[in-house]
Amino acid sequence: MATSQQRKPYLSDLSDARWELIEPILTAWRAERQKTSLNLGGRVTDLREVMNAILFLNRTGVPWRYLPHDFPPHTTVFSYFSAWTADGTMQAGRTAEPTACVLDAQSVKTATSVPTDTQGTDAGKKIVGRKGSIVVDTLGLLLLVIVTAASVSDNEAGKQLLTQIAADHPTITKAWVDTGYKTQAIEHGAPLGIDVDVVPRNAQVKGFSVIPRRWVVERSFGWIMMHRRLARDYETKPAHSESMIRLAMISNLAKRATGETPITWHNP
């Protein structure tokens, strides 16, 4: 297996600057794992290449088995991805505590490999699949994500999000939502100290229009959908779907932090 310094780079590879942001977290994770392992001196997997492989898959949408051969074996990459998902390593966050947030949800179709008991039908959008519900701050940075069956109502998912956001970010006192979140979500937020405000679409405007406050979370979904792995849900476990969304946002945030321009279809 070649390292990222030895092989021809992929467009999704981490730059040195972005790796410097991520490397301490993964190195610390490995150090903790080695404390409880036998550490028999076997081959050590390049963590940067594992992350490069996961980002390649996230951006291009290829199946795990189709990862290029110059990455570590797909079984190795998936085992790291699963471990990072299970122990919370694969999460995005920020140090400064926000005071306001925006909630929204998006339903996507599922692949044939997804267990039927983890999917459902979004009656409003006529989509059979799963629903990703996210909370972002006023900059559009991800605070929380949950993935449910598409049949779960925005209200029900919203109540889960509000409960968790109140626990994780107690400084938040304001939340903006669309009209899919009705009385139940609003009433649920009140005892948590969160004022939930519904921002409706302007009925007088036909076609696309920028909606106050809500445009921030719509942009976040736009960032997420640049990653083909998220255009359809392929993950067996909803927790893995959540990690794929976090990965997309981590990649975006790292590029913003290092001043790198994200690669898009009009900016190759």
Model pLDDT for residues 169-207, shown as the tens digit of each residue = 999 999 999 988 888 889 999 999 999 999 988 777 777
C-alpha 112: how far from its chain's center?
22
Sign of CA dihedral 253, 258, 261, 263: negative
Task: Give the pair of three-digit tokens for residue 15.
Answer: 């730059």
CATH of domain 100-258: 3.30.420.10
Label residues 36-46 b or e (16+ Cβ within 10 Å = b). Answer: eeeeeeeeebb
* Percent of the chain with pLDDT strictly greater than 70: 91
Q: What is the structure's pLDDT at 17?
A: 94
Domain with CATH 3.30.420.10 in the chain: 100-258
User: Does the pLDDT of residue 60 top 60, yes or no?
Assistant: yes
Cβ atoms of 132 and 247 within 8 Å: the answer is: no
pLDDT band per the 50, 70, 90 thresholds, residue 265: very low
* Residues in CB range of 16: below 8 A, 6 or more apart: none
Closest Cα partner for 250 from 3, 32, 14, 48? 14
User: Does the pLDDT of residue 4 top 70, yes or no?
Assistant: no
Cα-only R_g, the chain: 20
Strands (E), 62-113: 100-109
Distances (CA, A) of 170 to 41, 162, 194: 45, 11, 9
What is the total residue count of the chain?
268
| The model scores a pTM over 0.75 | yes
